[in-house]
Structure 1
């Protein structure tokens, strides 16, 4: 258990430090949104390009590895739709329930995968990102289109949300460079490496800054359903699919870790743009971030 906590505590410690900085307004409230933008558009893409361009991506199980994740995400969404039939909620709240149930925090995922599984874990997690991010965007926007009438929702909006995502672009660039056998000049490679080292600490601090603890409404059934789907239903489904595809132990561990992660802070942005329940998604993001450490400990204990 010692190595589990040695990997987990620094990650969630940085999140708490970010929240502490928010409470004391250090260095300022204006700083962190800009820092998050820097991380999202520069530091994190540098990390993904650097890791994927220098990785050994050949694996006969890569397709099954990705497919297990996508199937678990899809069927978790279907189960949430069935639950909504049995226990209906209003449309805007349900879109937030789905986002909370199937999205994941990229920064926490990469940080934990790298801390626990090393470079191989970081590369495998980047492979998941390449396919899971566009797939989840498609599903979430489809849910908004089905449940909320909004003139913004069309194919062009969906396409733009995917092709302008800097993480997807970075994964495609890094993977393409690797596949084509292109080698960066040493200066560029070293620059990317230095930038990549700042990505995860800055990302985790920004996650902490985004917590909104005073707005938690823990009695809301929608919050409970969403978190139940995220921390229990999806991990069980992804484990079943991973075992069915006979993946190796590291792949199974990374998939289950991926499934149990808290939802993404970007869920709030989509809810605000497309008419979701902003208060509910804020509560879901905060609660899942706070309780996910317990589920992650259980996952690491049984799968590492």
Structure 2
């Protein structure tokens, strides 16, 4: 019941965002600026605030990070092998692939902050900090392999990682925490206020970004990407947690992370590197809708 009570308010905000889009209030330019402000200011503030003030010393193992990386790599191998038989158009496969391994940070933080213990929540943010650059490496590699015109230098890629505000905020937050330095009370209170605006704004923006009218086409491709992300990846994650003998709390964190719908960063990269924009837009939208049911299902089926 706790899962349902947590999911409903989150997806209600997403629906409200979609409603705002349909009535065109505010206008489209507002949401573009809000997305940018949230990505560069509000959400990094949230990550920095939580990680700099958390009790990281209580974390006794970092196996969960390895599990996350291995699960994503395993899903990647499955998709590449599957594509050998299906022979999907290259631009479409890059969209299927992104849809199957990326995750929506706003939904993940909103759910994990309510469903998980404080320690597991902090572990979730650390997991994001390590998994995000790994996913970016994989996605850009797939684009380079399947759409050869994309020649991305190592230097430009490293710069993009170093400039990623989410990664930077996580690194700074953990560094402050490990150093033993305490934030001034005024700054800490200010960060608490600013960061509290990030999740509702992010969830509204997800709703604004939904494109439900495009779901009629490419049903098989939508199924492959969504099944891989919402069902297969959680199963792989659960099996790895069993193999590593991970406790129940961390297992719940890992399955929750794996069950997230894909993130809007998929569309941004597809637009930059020549992916199938219509398909990735449909994948993002359908996964948000399906995840209302699949998140509850996978947590229930694994007895979490």
Unaligned runs of 5+ in 2: none
Pair 247,69 (structure 1): closer, same or farther in 2 beyond 3 Å: same
Written as runs of structure 1 = structure 2, the 5 A alignment for 1:167-182 is: 167-182=166-181
Q: Map Cα deviations across residues 162-202 of structure 1 (whole Å, 9 max, x no partner).
A: 11111001100101111111111111111111111111111
The residue number in structure 1 matching 2:106 is: 107
Aligned partners of 1:218 and 1:224 also within 8 Å: no
Partner Cα distance (1:214, 1:180) in 2? 51
- Deviation of the 1:122 alpha carbon: 2.8
Structure 1 runs (4+) deviating above 2 angstroms are: 58-62, 118-122, 217-220, 299-304
Seen in structure 2, the aligned counterparts of structure 1 residues 15 and 62 have a Cα distance that, compared at 3 Å, is: farther
* Structure 2 CA distance for aligned equivalents of residues 151 and 4 of structure 1: 42
Distance 1:42 1:97, change over 3 A: same
| Residue aligned with 1:247, SS | coil
Q: Where in structure 1 are there 5+ consecutive unaligned residues? A: none
Mapped to 2, the partners of 1:177 and 1:128 lie a distance apart of 18
Instruction: Name the count of aligned residue pairs.
Output: 303
Looking at structure 2, the residues matched to 107 and 69 of structure 1 have their Cα atoms a distance apart, in angstroms, of 18
Q: Distance in 1 between matches of 2:290 and 2:247?
A: 28
C-alpha displacement of 1:30: 1.2
Q: Indicate the residue corresponding to 1:266 in structure 2.
A: 265
CA distance in 1, matches of 2:150, 2:4: 47
Residue 258 of structure 1 and its aligned partner are, at CA, apart by 0.7
Q: Is the 8 A contact 2:255 2:299 kept in 1?
A: no
Distance in 2, Cα, partners of 1:60 & 1:244: 20
Aligned residue number for residue 45 of structure 2: 46
What's the counterpart of residue 12 of structure 1?
A: 11
CA distance in 1, matches of 2:21, 2:287: 19
**Preserved CA contact (<8 Å) 1:152 1:274:** no
Question: Which residue does the alignment assign to 2:122?
Answer: 123
2:101/2:135 contact within 8 Å kept: yes
Which residue number in structure 2 is paired with residue 293 of structure 1?
292
Q: Are positions 1:94 and 2:93 aligned together?
A: yes
Which residue of structure 2 aligns with residue 66 of structure 1?
65
Please give the per-residue CA displacement for 1:95-124, whole angstroms capped at 9, x wherever unaligned: 111100100000000000012125334312
Distance 1:303 1:189 in 2: 38
Once the two structures are TM-superposed, the CA of residue 299 in structure 1 deviates from its matched residue by 2.8
Correspondence for 1:197: 196
Whether the 8 Å contact between 2:237 and 2:258 is mirrored in structure 1 is yes
Would the aligned equivalents of 1:253 and 1:303 in 2 still touch at CA under 8 Å? no
Structure 2: how far apart are the matches of 1:299 and 1:118?
19
**Is the CA contact (8 Å cut-off) linking 1:61 and 1:247 kept in structure 2?**
no
The 1:271/1:294 distance shift into structure 2, 3 A limit, reads same
Match of 2:281 in 1: 282
TM-score (norm 2): 0.96
Question: After superposition, where does 1:203-214 map in structure 2 within 5 Å?
Answer: 203-214=202-213
Deviates more, 1:120-129 or 1:273-282: 120-129
Q: Once structures 1 and 2 are overlaid, which stretch shifts more, 158-167 or 14-23?
A: 158-167
2-structure distance, mates of 1:154, 1:103: 22
Q: TM-score, normalised by structure 1?
A: 0.96
Closer, same or farther: CA 62–25 of 1 in aligned 2, 3 Å: farther
Q: In structure 1, how many angstroms separate the alpha carbons of the residues matched to 2:232 and 2:289? A: 18
